[in-house]
Amino acid sequence: MDKKEFYIEKIGQRGRIKIYIVDGFAIRKDLDEEFTNFGQHFRFKCIPEYEFWLDKEASPNERKFYIDHLLIEWKLMKEGVSYKEACTRADERERAERKRHEKNNNVHLKIIGKVKDKIKIWTISGKTVRDSLDIDFTEGGHDYVYSYVPKDEVWIDNDVTEKEKHYVILHELFERKLMKKGYDYNNAHVKASEIEWKARHDDEKLNKSLKKLGYEEVSNK
């Protein structure tokens, strides 16, 4: 796929830096599966140096937070600061901004799946989680990674589109299964990313993998 096809809309510019809404689903499939809600060149080399990319899935009311974060992260990394340090400092600024705009909302929205009537897969308000629990939460998570996720729950960010939802569910369930067996997060995440990548290019692989994990869809009609 030509990189130009990832672009959806230019939404702004800060100095020389152009800010684009991009097709995150296509990027995760064909460029970098680790791309999440937003990114800049010094974190993701596929992004041109003077561009910021925001996933179209990201809530419009969170874009300001992401752009402010990227401006700090980009500037520091361009000066040679490590990603870890730059991200930490950008998070501090973003957290303060979110605190100023914070509203009390419910995290849980609806149950969308289950595994053997024990593990519940919830759609949750990603913005509420980022505002009040964890600024770095994105796409999905589960109780073996995040202490604030209740036991036997998997959370899927409501920013995740319907066509991408099952890839994220697969990743989280597979990662959780490995961590339950004793894998550390890093190794479990790598293996979950591998199976997710294969599933993104093979729908049959996706369906078989979810079935093997015992996943069942829950109707909300």
210 shares a domain with 129: yes
| Whether 113 and 212 share a structural domain | yes
Structure tokens at 55: 């996933």
57 and 126 in a common domain: no
CB 38 within 8 A of CB 45: no
Both 96 and 114 in a single domain? Answer: no
Per the model's pLDDT, the better-predicted residue between 58 and 71 turns out to be 71
Per-residue model confidence as pLDDT tens digits over 126-145: 989 998 889 889 899 999 99
Domain boundary among 46, 66, 101: 101
Same domain, 146 and 205: yes
Same domain assignment for residues 77 and 116: no
Q: 35: burial class by Cβ within 10 Å (0-12, 13-18, 19+)?
A: buried
Structure tokens at 38: 């937003």
Residue where a domain terminates, one of 83, 101, 119: 101
Domain containing 16 equals 3-101
Question: Do 81 and 123 belong to one domain?
Answer: no
Into how many domains does the chain fold?
A: 2
Residues 126 and 45 in one domain: no
Summarised one tens digit per residue, pLDDT across range 83-92 is 999 999 999 9
Q: CB–CB of 212/199 below 8 Å?
A: no
Report the SS3 class of residue 149.
Answer: coil
Asked if 90 and 115 sit in the same domain, the reply is no
Write out pLDDT tens, residues 11-54: 999 989 999 999 999 999 899 989 988 999 999 999 999 999 99
Q: Of how many residues is the chain composed? A: 221
CB atoms within 10 A of CB 208: 12
Q: Which residues contact 11 (CB under 8 A, 6 or more apart)?
A: 19, 20, 21, 54, 63
State the pLDDT confidence band at 206, using cuts at 50, 70 and 90: very high
Instruction: Looking at the structure, tell me whether residues 166 and 209 fall in a common domain.
Output: yes
Total Cβ atoms within 10 A of residue 36: 21
Q: Considering 101, 130, 153, which residue would you say is the last residue of a domain?
A: 101
Mind giving me the DSSP string for 65-130?
Answer: HHHHHHHHHHHHHHTT--HHHHHHHHHHHHHHHHHHH-----SEEEEEEEETTTEEEEEE-HHHHH
How far is residue 218's CA from residue 221's CA, in Å, rounded to a whole number? Answer: 9
Q: Is the pTM of this model over 0.75?
A: no
| 122 and 194 co-located in one domain | yes
- In this prediction, residue 99 has a pLDDT band, given cuts at 50, 70 and 90, of confident
**Token pair in block for residue 93:** 């600024």
Q: φ, ψ for residue 21 (rounded to 5)?
A: -85, 130
Q: Are residues 81 and 119 in the same domain?
A: no
